[in-house]
């Protein structure tokens, strides 16, 4: 996580004169408190997942996994449908991300590299779409899905996630594209490349990191989405995704909190990996309205 | 971009350079390309965004219940649905509750976020890294995982919160069921949303704080300004755009928060945590009054429009030349 600090060199750092040690004590105590509050819930999830049932249902909770066990992970993984829901989530998420990446790349190229009538209007539309109040569209989307026989289908969910991530993907890719000098492409064209070939051989490799980080944001959004998955998948329980399954944990695990926390941990794992990959790009992406954690 | 943190900030987005002159025929054929390239986006938005919006507005002016959902043939009723909704005192209770919910969450997020950011700049390097990593962990927690964790933390029999409260001497919290009471459920939801939202506010503000030149604080100190005064006269004016941005984003996010509330309480107990998005969904999905639900949704968007337009204007300014 060094990326968080390296950026400090960019701006003149705020340096305060060193105070007396006594003056720093409350500050460090506040820091420890902040750290504890932010980490404890996640820590508690992981600890509970590893504790044997007897330790979980004890009147005095133990704060360390003294007798770690993988039993709860076994319960979670072997609960009916776990593999299916995991596969559904992956299918929907990857499908939506790839689709929106391809469509956004085409649009970003048109917006960033070409001049045409209606370009401004198109960009305006993309910005407005980025602010779309999706929570207010649950009901019409349900009605439309029902009318078109798309209810209980993963393809419908994929399409919805594609559209929720598309505007952000276009805006971000346009930014990355603008950072690549158009002269590189022109030079390739002078050397005899066609325009598509110049883009594919010169710009595309340079764009790869941008494509990666943009798609990771889309991944988090789609992976975590609950409201539409809960509304559009109703009868066909086999088509549910992980968030919906996890939200109904009491039907699945009853009061087995160890298994619930194990399932939660497994669900969170990919997101955590993605966050570690993204590191310092997280803040700027979030600011652009990408994902709400 | 906004933060000082990104190592290589993308340069300002500018218009593409004019196309080099080409042979006449090629221009005519080539002129179609940009439209072909944006066509998938336009088609997708038309079907998956514009159409649902139009459909929602249409439904709010129709009589649309379970029968119309199955058989079709909805009839137009003008503003009747809106009259029904606006005449219902429960709607206004929900509106007041939503505003209170939004105000409380945003106020807590902004105050705590600012305090954490101010703390971060004053910390030593290692401690700062530790706190920031903790904040990122909180931020990375998926909403569904967080709701599950909070339900376990506040569980009545073996929940760690009740255990701690009893240990601290609050004996009335022995086996206390938090989710059976409206007030305590509301409080847990606020805690959950604030816990998840403070990292964004704090880290963004910290990014802004590091860009303020130290000389400004020094001259403020020489002029005799205390801690509060240097915040009011230096920090706040310098970061005003950032504060405005975060506040507007948090207002939007808290106002339309759906998942947390629905998963934990479905708006209950006794409607104590029903906000506008939950209310619209309940009316439509549980009562099958899709027309009234659509009307509430439309009204929700209208109320949100203030914050949305503000945010849109900011995005335009930030992106510069369109």
Q: Which 8-state DSSP code applies to residue B22?
A: -
pLDDT, residue A30, reads 93
User: What separation in angstroms does the CA of B296 have from each of A132, A177, A279?
Assistant: 16, 41, 39
Residues of B in contact with A163 (CB under 8 A): 44-45, 48-49
pLDDT, residue B66, reads 85
CATH architecture of A79-287: Orthogonal Bundle (1.10)
| Average pLDDT estimate for B187-216 | 92
Would you call A10 an interface residue with chain B, using a CB distance cutoff of 8 Å?
yes
Partner residue opposite A283 with nearest CB, options B37, B128, B203: B203
Pick among A133, A175, A219 to test the B interface (most B CBs inside 10 A): A133
Q: Which 8-state DSSP code applies to residue A81?
A: T
What domain range includes position B139? 82-319
Using the beta-carbon criterion (under 8 Å), do A246 and B49 form an inter-chain contact? Answer: no
Residue B177 lies in a domain: yes
Phi, psi angles (nearest 5°) of residue B62:
-115, 170
**Of residues A176 and A17, which shows the higher confidence score?**
A176
Does residue A8 have a pLDDT over 50?
A: no
Residues of chain A with CATH 1.10.3720.10: 79-287
Q: Is B238 exposed, middle or buried, given 0-12, 13-18 or 19+ CB atoms closer than 10 A?
A: middle
Does residue A206 have a pLDDT over 90?
A: no
Is residue A170 very low, low, confident or very high in pLDDT (cuts 50, 70, 90)?
very high
Q: How far apart are the first and last CA of chain A?
A: 18
Does residue A34 have a pLDDT over 90?
A: yes
Interface confidence (ipTM) of the complex: 0.82
* C-beta neighbour count of A107 within 10 angstroms: 27
Would you say B285 and B295 are in contact if contact means Cβ atoms under 8 Å apart?
no
Cβ-based neighbours of B96, under 8 Å, separated by 6 or more: none
Cβ-based neighbours of A115, under 8 Å, separated by 6 or more: B15, B16, B18, B19
Chain segment A208-259, per-residue pLDDT in tens: 888 888 888 889 889 999 999 999 988 888 888 999 998 888 777 777 888 8
A positions 64-123 inside 8 Å of B (CB): 103-104, 106-107, 109-116, 118-120, 122-123
Is residue B10 very low, low, confident or very high in pLDDT (cuts 50, 70, 90)?
very low
Phi-psi domain of B320 (left: phi exceeds 0; alpha: psi -120 through 50; beta: other): left
Residue B71 lies in a domain: no
Chain segment B207-261, per-residue pLDDT in tens: 889 888 888 888 888 888 888 888 888 888 888 888 888 898 899 889 989 999 9
pLDDT, residue A14, reads 47
Residue B34 lies in a domain: no
Residues of A in contact with B208 (CB under 8 A): none
A183 Cα to chain B: minimum distance (Å): 10
Using the beta-carbon criterion (under 8 Å), do B11 and A178 form an inter-chain contact? Answer: yes
Return d(Cα B311, Cα B235) in angstroms, integer.
Answer: 22
Partner residue opposite B119 with nearest CB, options A31, A133, A249: A31
Using the beta-carbon criterion (under 8 Å), do A45 and B145 form an inter-chain contact? Answer: yes
* C-beta neighbour count of A259 within 10 angstroms: 25
Partner residue opposite B152 with nearest CB, options A223, A261, A286: A261
CATH of residue B98: 1.10.3720.10
Would you call A26 an interface residue with chain B, using a CB distance cutoff of 8 Å?
no
Does residue B2 have a pLDDT over 90?
A: no
pLDDT, residue A23, reads 67
**Of residues B290 and A288, which shows the higher confidence score?**
B290
Would you say B133 and A38 are in contact if contact means Cβ atoms under 8 Å apart?
no
| Average pLDDT estimate for A40-54 | 91
pTM of the model: 0.84
Total domains in chain B come to 1
Chain segment B20-48, per-residue pLDDT in tens: 554 444 556 678 888 999 999 999 999 99
- The residue assigned the tokens 């919006």 is B53
Return d(Cα A144, Cα A139) in angstroms, integer.
Answer: 9
pLDDT, residue A21, reads 53
Return d(Cα B10, Cα A108) in angstroms, integer.
Answer: 15
Phi, psi angles (nearest 5°) of residue B288:
60, 25
Instruction: For chains A and B, count residue pairs whose Cβ atoms are closer than 8 Å.
Output: 341
Partner residue opposite B294 with nearest CB, options A139, A242, A243: A139
Partner residue opposite A283 with nearest CB, options B3, B44, B137: B3
| Average pLDDT estimate for A14-42 | 78
User: What separation in angstroms does the CA of B280 have from each of A20, B61, B62, B262, B293?
Assistant: 56, 15, 16, 12, 4
Phi-psi domain of A185 (left: phi exceeds 0; alpha: psi -120 through 50; beta: other): alpha
| Average pLDDT estimate for B257-270 | 90
pLDDT, residue B1, reads 31
Is residue A12 very low, low, confident or very high in pLDDT (cuts 50, 70, 90)?
very low
| Average pLDDT estimate for A116-121 | 89
Chain segment B43-91, per-residue pLDDT in tens: 999 999 999 999 999 999 988 888 888 888 888 888 989 999 999 999 9
């Amino acid at each position: 996580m060094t990326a968080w600090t390296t950026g400090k060199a960019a701006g003149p750092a705020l340096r305060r004169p060193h105070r007396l040690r006594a003056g720093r004590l409350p500050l460090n105590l506040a820091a420890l408190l902040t750290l504890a509050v932010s980490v404890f819930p996640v820590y508690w999830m992981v600890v509970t997942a590893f504790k044997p049932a007897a330790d979980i249902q004890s009147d005095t909770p133990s704060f360390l996994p003294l007798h770690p066990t993988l039993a709860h992970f076994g319960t979670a993984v072997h609960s009916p449908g776990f593999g299916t829901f995991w596969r559904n989530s992956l299918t929907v998420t990857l499908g939506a991300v790839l689709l929106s990446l391809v469509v956004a790349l085409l649009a970003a190229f048109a917006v960033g590299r070409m001049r045409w009538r209606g370009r401004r209007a198109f960009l305006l539309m993309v910005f407005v779409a980025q602010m779309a109040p999706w929570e207010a569209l649950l009901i019409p989307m349900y009605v439309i899905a029902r009318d078109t026989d798309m209810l209980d289908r993963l393809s419908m969910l994929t399409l919805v996630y594609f559209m929720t991530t598309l505007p952000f993907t276009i805006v971000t890719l346009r930014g990355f594209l603008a950072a690549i000098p158009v002269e590189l492409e022109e030079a390739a064209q002078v050397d005899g490349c066609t325009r598509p070939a110049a883009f594919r051989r010169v710009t595309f490799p340079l764009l790869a990191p941008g494509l990666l980080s943009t798609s990771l944001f889309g991944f988090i959004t789609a992976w975590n989405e609950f409201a539409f998955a809960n509304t559009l998948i109703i009868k066909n329980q086999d088509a549910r995704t992980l968030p919906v399954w996890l939200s109904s944990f009491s039907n699945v695990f009853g009061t087995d909190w160890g298994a619930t926390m194990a399932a939660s941990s497994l669900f969170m794992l990919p997101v955590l990996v993605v966050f570690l990959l993204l590191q310092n790009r997280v803040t700027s992406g979030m600011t652009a309205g990408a994902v709400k954690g | 971009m906004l933060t000082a943190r990104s190592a290589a900030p993308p340069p300002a987005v500018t218009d593409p350079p004019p196309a080099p002159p080409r042979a006449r025929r090629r221009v005519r054929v080539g002129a179609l390309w940009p439209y072909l390239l944006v066509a998938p986006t336009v088609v997708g938005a038309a079907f998956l965004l514009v159409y649902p919006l139009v459909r929602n507005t249409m439904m709010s002016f129709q009589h649309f219940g379970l029968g119309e959902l199955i058989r079709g043939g909805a009839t137009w009723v003008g503003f009747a649905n809106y009259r029904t909704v606006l005449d219902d005192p429960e709607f206004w209770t929900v509106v007041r509750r939503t505003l209170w919910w939004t105000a409380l969450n945003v106020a807590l997020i902004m105050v705590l976020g600012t305090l954490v950011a101010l703390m971060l700049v004053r910390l030593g390097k290692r401690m700062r890294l530790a706190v920031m990593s903790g904040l990122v962990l909180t931020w990375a927690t998926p909403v569904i995982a967080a709701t599950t964790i909070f339900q376990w933390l506040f569980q009545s029999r073996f929940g760690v919160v009740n255990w701690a409260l009893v240990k601290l001497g609050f004996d009335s919290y022995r086996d206390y069921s938090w989710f059976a009471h409206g007030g305590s459920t509301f409080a847990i939801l606020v805690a959950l949303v604030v816990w998840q939202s403070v990292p964004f506010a704090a880290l963004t503000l910290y990014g802004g704080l590091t860009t303020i030149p130290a000389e400004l604080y020094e001259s403020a100190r020489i002029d005799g300004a205390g801690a509060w005064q240097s915040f009011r006269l230096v920090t706040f004016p310098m970061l005003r755009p950032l504060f405005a941005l975060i506040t507007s984003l948090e207002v939007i996010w808290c106002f339309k928060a759906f998942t947390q509330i629905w998963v934990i309480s479905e708006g209950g107990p006794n409607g104590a945590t029903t906000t506008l998005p939950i209310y619209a969904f309940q009316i439509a999905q549980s009562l099958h009054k899709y027309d009234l639900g659509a009307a509430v949704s439309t009204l929700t968007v209208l109320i949100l429009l203030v914050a949305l337009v503000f945010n849109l204007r900011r995005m335009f300014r930030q992106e510069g030349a369109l």
